[in-house]
Every structure is written in structure tokens, then in C-alpha cells.
């Protein structure tokens, strides 16, 4: 059985399969990258950012076509796929417009006549990317990397090979020279060899915590710089003085985004006791109102999960939580019929030892947890190995200011949806990874911050 397969999650039917790359071809590709880097890094910045500008135009022109590919391979509703392609265009334009300022040498005081830090590219970077945002998670790394003068070697998820090929084709048409952006269908063993190869100068991974440990171990042995954006179990903390209607609306949208398959979506909903009943009633109604179905239909809110094993794992987590005492207020059962569907589900009365309280639920399942005080809210929010994002809802700015430093997460969004934005650094702490993507901070993760001192 081929590792790389397009399997329609709406029907469960195999569409197409692709072989992994041969060892001889892989060697040729790595050698081509090494040759291309010497040329690409010397090209004017305006030429590199020009590629990004043209890529942005193509992404917008072809957004519906790319959305259809995402729907076919991993079940993303069409409207969300179009929005994803357009967000990639935004990232390309952002770095095309700001790369010059981000890479401008920075003067420092010293005992010399002049001292400054310049930012030089490292070389080919291996990007190991997931299936759930198959365009965005590639571009949020590739746009700054290419602008800085680095090369991209993409190992995409085995379930999204058509997306991987579409990305390589798009960037080639945008003007990327041969070898600058390559999509490689690697086995895990080949990926380890690529990490160890001296021609490859860094590694970035977006994926599970388990995958992060494996890749970080290999990159550490090879002494390669790396960025890891891993799983999350984000808290969504709602105080009694919050705008309840807005919190419910955004909470439902966050939990059902991408059929619940997002690392930074809200998963644990912490609600202050005085408003628990009202929040629960409105939230359950919102989850029940989400329409589940074929992601290629314009009225679908929630598509299938990407794979059968993911759906089955989520179903086991919910069933185990219910067996331990949790109560399902809606959903909670695998529907009959074809495809890898799981309905929007709300769990309450969840024991602390249940999977719904301590594990990441990667699907449209929300856990409701009451709290009585600020101290208890922070303790529950931090009672997880993850630390990606947190959403805090309150009408009291002083409360937000008090709690932000205590929340163990890479970002805190007050009265808003946790999201990735090209203008803001993005990443996590604890088991959610390390390093940052996006903004200037993300661009500087894969450059040589070279100190220059002149007498």
C-alpha cells in the first residue's frame, strides 16, 4: 500500500495513490537544492519578494480550485478552503512588503568604529507539514523563508499529496527557480536521513506532540535549528461579566472550525458558575445548529474528519469520558453511513481523569467546565501539558491584565478568537512546541544573525 494517498473522507473511497521518492531521485533533489541555494540567496530581495507577490495573485485567482482539492483530500468545507487560500495570499503580500525592513542590518553600540547584526539565509529547510491546513501551514513558513533567501523542502502529510503537488506547481508558476521549492514524498526513514544531511540547514514541523519529539530528537542529533508547532487543548475562559452572546458565537465557531481539527481552536470551555446555565443552553443550541455534510456543498458547516482512524480515536475518547461520568448534551455518537463524520458534541460533568479533560480532542467536541474564582479558572486552564493559545472573556480590563501573565500559553486573546495572523508571532510552550512563526520573529528563526564588528 502506498504511503501517499488521496482518500476522499466524505465517501471513504480511494481516489489516487503516489509512490514515495526513490533514493537516487532524492539525492538528485538534494543536490539540486544545494546548487539552487547559491543562486537564490544572491538574487535581489525585490526578485524574491516578487515571487511572493505573483504567488498571492495566483492563490486568489485559483482559490476555489484549491479549496476543492482540500475538500477532496481532507474534508474542509469549501468556504473555509477559499478563506485559507486567501489567507496564504495575505501572508505572501505581508512578507513581500515587510521583508526589507525585517532583514535590515541592525546597528549596535560597541568599542569598534561600527558594529551591526546582519541576517543571512541558512539554506534548504525541511518543512514537515500536516493535513489539517494543507496550504496555510506551508505558506506561513514558506513565505518568510523564501523572502529571506532560504529554500523549502516540503514533506507534506501522506493524506494530502494533491495539495503538495499544487503548492509546488503554484510556486513554480510564480517564478521560483528549479530547486527552490520542492515537494518530496518521503517515508519517515527518508525524512530522518534528510534531517541528518549536511546540505539541509534546519527543520520546521507542525504536527502532533509525538511527531515533534521524534523530529526534535533527530534534529538535535544533527544540531539543526528547528521550530515546533504542536498540539493544543486551548482553554476558552468566560467570566460572568463577559458579552455572553458574543462569547457563545465565537466559541461555537472556534470549536467547529475545520470540523474541529485545529490545534488552536477552543477545546475546553471554562465558564463562571453564575452564567453556566445560560451559556450551556446557548452553546448547545449553537452546536446543534451547525450543519454536517458533504464539504463540497455550499451550506455545509462541518465536514468529515480527515481519516477513519482519527474519527474512531475521537469516538473512543468521548465514549471513555462518558463511561467515567461525563454527560453528552448533544452529539456523542458516530452517525451511520459512509464517510468519516462525527457530529458537533458538547460534554459536561467531565471528571478530571477523563480523556475529555486531559487530552486533545481533535474534532468538533467541546468540554464545558465550571469555575468559581479567578484562581480556579487559571488552575484549570493550566492543568494540561499543552500551552498553545488561550481565549479570555471578560468585561473587566483589570482582570484581563491580572490573568494574562498567569496563563501558560504562547498567546492570549482577550474577548476574541485565538488565531494565527501574519503580523503577530505564533507558537506555543510546554508540549505545544517551541520557536515562533510569522511576524519578524518567525522570519528570524531561520537566518544567521551574524554579528559584524569593524575597527
By annotation, the residues acting in catalysis are 229, 263
Buried b / exposed e across 179-207, counting CB within 10 Å, b at 16+?
bbbbbbbbeeebbbbbbebeebbbbbbbb
Please give the Cα distance from 258 to 247 (Å, whole number).
19
Please give the Cα distance from 207 to 220 (Å, whole number).
17
CA–CA distance from 277 to each of 3, 189, 237, 349, 394 (Å)? 47, 52, 15, 13, 17
Supply the DSSP symbol for 253: H
365-371 and 345-348 strand pairing: parallel
Q: Are 176 and 169 in contact (CB under 8 A)?
A: no
Q: Are 16 and 159 in contact (CB under 8 A)?
A: no
Instruction: Return all residues near 25 (Cβ < 8 A) that are at least 6 apart.
Output: none
Residue whose entry in the numeric block shows the C-alpha cell 518530496: 184
Count of H-run helices and E-run strands, the chain: 15, 20
Dihedral sign (CA 310, 182, 123, 443): negative
| Rg of the chain over all Cα atoms, to the nearest angstrom | 23
| Cell output for 35 | 546548487
Segments in 336-427 forming alpha helices (H): 355-358, 374-382, 397-403
Segments in 131-234 forming alpha helices (H): 136-148, 161-174, 188-196, 209-221
- Is 6 strand, coil or helix? strand
Amino acid at each position: 500500500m502506498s504511503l501517499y494517498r488521496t482518500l476522499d473522507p466524505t465517501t471513504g473511497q480511494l481516489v489516487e495513490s503516489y509512490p514515495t521518492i526513490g533514493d537516487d531521485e532524492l539525492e538528485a533533489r538534494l543536490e539540486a537544492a544545494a546548487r539552487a541555494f547559491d543562486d537564490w540567496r544572491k538574487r535581489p530581495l525585490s526578485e524574491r519578494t516578487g515571487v511572493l507577490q505573483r504567488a498571492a495573485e495566483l492563490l486568489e485567482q485559483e482559490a476555489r480550485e484549491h479549496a476543492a482539492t482540500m475538500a477532496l483530500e481532507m474534508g474542509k468545507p469549501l468556504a473555509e478552503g477559499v478563506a485559507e487560500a486567501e489567507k496564504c495570499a495575505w501572508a505572501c503580500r505581508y512578507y513581500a512588503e515587510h521583508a526589507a525592513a525585517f532583514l535590515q542590518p541592525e546597528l549596535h553600540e560597541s568599542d569598534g568604529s561600527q558594529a551591526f547584526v546582519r541576517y543571512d539565509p541558512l539554506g534548504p529547510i525541511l518543512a514537515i507539514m500536516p493535513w489539517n491546513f494543507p496550504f496555510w501551514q506551508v505558506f506561513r513558513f514558506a513565505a518568510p523563508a523564501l523572502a529571506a533567501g532560504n529554500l523549502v523542502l516540503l514533506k507534506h502529510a501522506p493524506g494530502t499529496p494533491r495539495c503538495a503537488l499544487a503548492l509546488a506547481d503554484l510556486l513554480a508558476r510564480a517564478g521560483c527557480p528549479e530547486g527552490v521549492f520542492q515537494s518530496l514524498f518521503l517515508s519517515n526513514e527518508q525524512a530522518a536521513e534528510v534531517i541528518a544531511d549536511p546540505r539541509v540547514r534546519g527543520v520546521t514541523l507542525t504536527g502532533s506532540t509525538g511527531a515533534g519529539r521524534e523530529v526534535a530528537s533527530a534534529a538535535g542529533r544533527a544540531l539543526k535549528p528547528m521550530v515546533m508547532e504542536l498540539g493544543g487543548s486551548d482553554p476558552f475562559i468566560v467570566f460572568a461579566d463577559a458579552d455572553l452572546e458574543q462569547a457563545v458565537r465565537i466559541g461555537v465557531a472556534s470549536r467547529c472550525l475545520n470540523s474541529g481539527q485545529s490545534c488552536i481552536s477552543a477545546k475546553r470551555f471554562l465558564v463562571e458558575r453564575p452564567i453556566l446555565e445560560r451559556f450551556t443552553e446557548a452553546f448547545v443550541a449553537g452546536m446543534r445548529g451547525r450543519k454536517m455534510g458533504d464539504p463540497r456543498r455550499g451550506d455545509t458547516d462541518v465536514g468529515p474528519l480527515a481519516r477513519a482512524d482519527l474519527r474512531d480515536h475521537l469516538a473512543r475518547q468521548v465514549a471513555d469520558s462518558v463511561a467515567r461520568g461525563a454527560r453528552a448534551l448533544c452529539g456523542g455518537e458516530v452517525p451511520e453511513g459512509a464517510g468519516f463524520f462525527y457530529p458537533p458534541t458538547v460534554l459536561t460533568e467531565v471528571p478530571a481523569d477523563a480523556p475529555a479533560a486531559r487530552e486533545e480532542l481533535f474534532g468538533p467536541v467541546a468540554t464545558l467546565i465550571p469555575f468559581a474564582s479567578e484562581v480556579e479558572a487559571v488552575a484549570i486552564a493550566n492543568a494540561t501539558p499543552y500551552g498553545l493559545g488561550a481565549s479570555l472573556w471578560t468585561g473587566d480590563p483589570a482582570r484581563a491584565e491580572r490573568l494574562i501573565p498567569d496563563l501558560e500559553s504562547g498567546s492570549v486573546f482577550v474577548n476574541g478568537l485565538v488565531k494565527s495572523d501574519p503580523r503577530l508571532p505564533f507558537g506555543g510552550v510546554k508540549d505545544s512546541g517551541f520557536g515562533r512563526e510569522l511576524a519578524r520573529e518567525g522570519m528570524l528563526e531561520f537566518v544567521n544573525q551574524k554579528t559584524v564588528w569593524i575597527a
